[in-house]
């Protein structure tokens, strides 16, 4: 059990309680959950409904923060009720509960607009953790609708319309991060870029395309509610709005498309449907201002599909002889694929100082000459314990270390600014939102 949570606003007016509506056709179940939640100082059950139709009406009246919704009920089931509540009371987040703990039920629940799914019989620790996570992840939407309550009805409608149209009308810039060699720090760079691009009004997703051994979820300490595998059955008719509800959300607000949970699962995509990953990214890209894709070092059809739709490929190399040689092969391949020089941004990672450089590493000026393209950012080698400490906490180093003058955060910030500048349109306001003032380039560099 937890103690009181501090008020989100930081004042000292007492704990901020999460208001909860229980919807289940079994009165004993509602009563048992209510008794269990009564021990949580930061939660308050404000009502109970015996079927979906009653739940919809109570949700409209009470406007709770969280709705715990049973999936199987008479008159109107939980999926129908959730779909109606999502449209009429969008500031409330629905958690579906069911005795059927199956992928199909989870997918249907998320498709109806639920924010999470929990199996019966209810484990109180799982339930309270889920409630707090969903409450935190839904905060931005909840606050926008709360602000609308203090306006005129006409202003409230305009505010609601503005919120609703954020999905499907975003800039949709795709940044792929790739290295020809494992251990180059691609996941660290990808998650760092993604978190630095995040700001108020900017929607960012990081997608893990290292399908066999992806580490994005582990780096961010996320237990994915759904991975790329749950999206495959509906890939041809994917609804971008439902996609946004299905994928995971980091505590920072960053959206996360996780890799399969086990390496053998990836074979379904790698061998059977290699183009589907790029297809999914292409379908949902307009949900987000930026999508950062963390890729495997394998040059397979999955990676090529991502590269084809990417606006920029951040090509990462270390300064070792083998790494630079392999990067040269990739540069040649990119030319054969018709990728122009503006599509590829070269970055060196784990760069030793001149004093510490060993015979096996090349100076950056020689790398420039060998690859016949400039290194845009040099990320110095740092004490691995610094990065490991952040990873173990599930916090990207760019969030853990607020001082952007320190390496490697300074270099990650420099890289993020370069990407924003390169991707900016003439009338683009995204650059201002991520605190970058780009040099204006008519038409943008990568318009298709």
Q: Give yes or no for a contact between 349 and 185, defined as CB atoms under 8 angstroms apart.
A: yes
Confidence check: pLDDT of 107 > 90? no
pLDDT of residue 158: 54
Task: Determine the average pLDDT of the residues in 280-307.
Answer: 95
For residue 355, the number of C-alpha atoms closer than 13 Å in the C-beta half-sphere is 0
pLDDT tens sequence across 144-174: 666 555 455 455 455 544 544 466 788 999 9
pLDDT (0 to 100) of residue 13: 37
CB neighbourhood size of 329 (10 A): 11
pTM score, whole prediction: 0.64
Please state whether 175 falls in left (phi above 0), alpha (psi between -120 and 50) or beta: beta
Annotation: CATH topology of 173-433: Rossmann fold (3.40.50)
The C-alpha atoms of residue 14 and residue 380 are separated, in whole angstroms, by 45
Taking residues 381-407, report their average pLDDT: 70
The whole-number pLDDT of residue 426 equals 53
Residue of higher predicted confidence among 237 and 330: 330
Residue 65: predicted pLDDT: 95
User: Hey, what are 411's tokens?
Assistant: 């270099």
Q: What pLDDT band is residue 395 in, cutting at 50, 70 and 90?
A: low
Q: Of the ranges 49-53, 283-287, 434-438, which one carries the lowest mean pLDDT score?
A: 434-438
What one-character-per-residue DSSP string does 188-233 give?
A: HHHHHHHHHH-BTTB-EEEEEE-TTT--HHHHTT---SSBHHHHGG
Q: For position 442, what pLDDT does the model report?
A: 37
User: What is the predicted pLDDT for the residue at 16?
Assistant: 75
Q: Residue 436: what pLDDT?
A: 44
Q: Domain spans of the chain?
A: 18-141, 173-433
Q: Residue 173: its pLDDT value, please?
A: 96
Do 173-433 and 18-141 have the same topology in CATH? yes
Task: Give the tens place of pLDDT for each residue, 308-343.
Answer: 999 999 999 999 999 999 999 999 999 999 999 999
Class of domain 18-141: alpha beta
Residue located via tokens 């853990």: 400
Q: How far is CA 178 from CA 247, 282, 310, 447, in A?
A: 23, 18, 11, 21
- For every residue of 239-301, DSSP letters joined together read -HHHHHHHSEE-TTS-EEEBPPSSGGGGHIIIII-TTHHHHHHHHHGGG-SEEEEEE-SS-SH
Q: What number is the average pLDDT over the span 79-90?
A: 87
Whole-angstrom CA distances from 297 to 1, 119, 182, 277, 301 are 44, 37, 6, 16, 12
Lowest mean pLDDT among 115-124, 226-235, 384-393: 384-393
Query: Average pLDDT of 67-95?
Result: 89
Confidence category of residue 398, pLDDT binned at 50, 70, 90: confident
What's the pLDDT score for residue 383? 74
pLDDT, tens digit (0-9, with 9 covering 90-100), for 176-218: 999 999 989 999 999 999 999 987 678 999 999 999 999 999 8
The confidence score (pLDDT) of residue 119 equals 84
- The mean-pLDDT minimum among 21-30, 84-93, 435-444 falls in 435-444
Query: What is the pLDDT, as a whole number, of residue 447?
Result: 32
Q: Once rounded to an integer, what is the mean pLDDT over residues 6-24?
A: 65
CB within 8 A of 441, min separation 6: which ones?
424, 426
**Is the C-alpha dihedral spanning 186, 189, 191, 197 positive or negative?**
negative
d(CA 95, CA 263): 29
Q: What angle do CA 429, 431, 434 make, to 5 degrees?
A: 115
Look at residue 437 in the predicted model and tell me its pLDDT.
Answer: 38
What phi, psi does 378 have (nearest 5°)? -110, 115
Confidence of residue 443 (pLDDT cuts 50, 70, 90): very low
Residue 241 has pLDDT above 90, yes or no: no
Percentage of the residues of the chain whose pLDDT score is greater than 90: 49
Q: Give the mean pLDDT of the chain.
A: 82
Q: What are phi and psi of 198, to 5 degrees?
A: -65, 135
């Amino acid at each position: 059990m937890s103690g009181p949570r501090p008020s989100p606003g930081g004042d000292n007016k007492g704990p901020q309680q999460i208001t909860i509506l229980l919807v289940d056709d079994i009165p004993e179940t509602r009563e048992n959950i209510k008794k269990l939640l009564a021990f949580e100082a930061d939660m308050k059950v404000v009502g109970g409904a015996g079927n979906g139709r009653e739940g919809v009406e109570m949700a409209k009246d009470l406007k709770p923060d969280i709705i715990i919704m049973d999936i199987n009920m008479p008159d109107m089931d939980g999926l129908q009720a959730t779909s109606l509540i999502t449209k009429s009371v969008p500031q409330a987040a629905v958690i579906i509960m069911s005795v059927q703990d199956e992928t199909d039920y989870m997918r249907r629940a998320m498709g109806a607009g639920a924010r999470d799914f929990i199996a019966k019989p209810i484990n109180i620790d799982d339930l309270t953790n889920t409630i707090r996570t969903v409450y935190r992840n839904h905060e931005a939407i909840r606050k926008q609708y709360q602000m609308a309550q203090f306006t005129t009805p006409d202003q409230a409608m305009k505010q609601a319309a503005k919120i609703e149209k954020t999905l499907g009308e975003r800039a949709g810039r795709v940044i792929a991060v790739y290295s020809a060699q494992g251990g180059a720090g691609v996941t660290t760079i990808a998650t760092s870029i993604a978190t630095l691009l995040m700001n108020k009004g900017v929607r960012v997703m990081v997608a893990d395309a290292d399908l066999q051994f992806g580490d994005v979820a582990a780096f961010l300490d996320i237990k994915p509610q759904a991975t790329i595998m749950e999206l495959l059955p509906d890939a041809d008719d994917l609804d971008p709005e439902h996609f946004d509800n299905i994928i995971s959300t980091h505590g920072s607000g960053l959206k996360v498309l996780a890799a399969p949970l086990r390496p053998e699962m990836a074979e379904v995509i790698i061998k059977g449907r290699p183009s589907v990953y790029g297809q999914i990214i292409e379908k949902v890209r307009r949900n987000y201002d930026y999508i950062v894709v963390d890729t495997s070092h394998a040059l397979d059809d999955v990676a090529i599909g991502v590269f084809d739709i990417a606006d920029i490929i951040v090509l990462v190399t270390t300064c070792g002889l083998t790494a630079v040689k392999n990067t040269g092969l990739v540069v040649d391949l990119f030319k054969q694929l018709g990728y122009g020089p503006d599509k590829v941004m070269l970055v060196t990672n784990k760069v030793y100082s001149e004093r510490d450089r060993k015979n096996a590493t090349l100076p950056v000026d020689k790398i420039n000459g060998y690859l016949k393209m400039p290194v845009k950012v040099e990320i110095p080698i740092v004490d691995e314990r610094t990065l490991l400490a952040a990873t173990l906490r599930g916090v990207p180093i760019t969030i853990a270390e607020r001082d952007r003058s320190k390496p490697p955060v300074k270099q990650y910030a420099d890289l993020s600014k370069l990407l924003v500048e390169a991707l900016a349109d003439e009338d683009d306001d995204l650059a201002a939102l991520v605190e970058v003032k780009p040099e204006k380039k008519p038409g943008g560099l990568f318009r298709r």
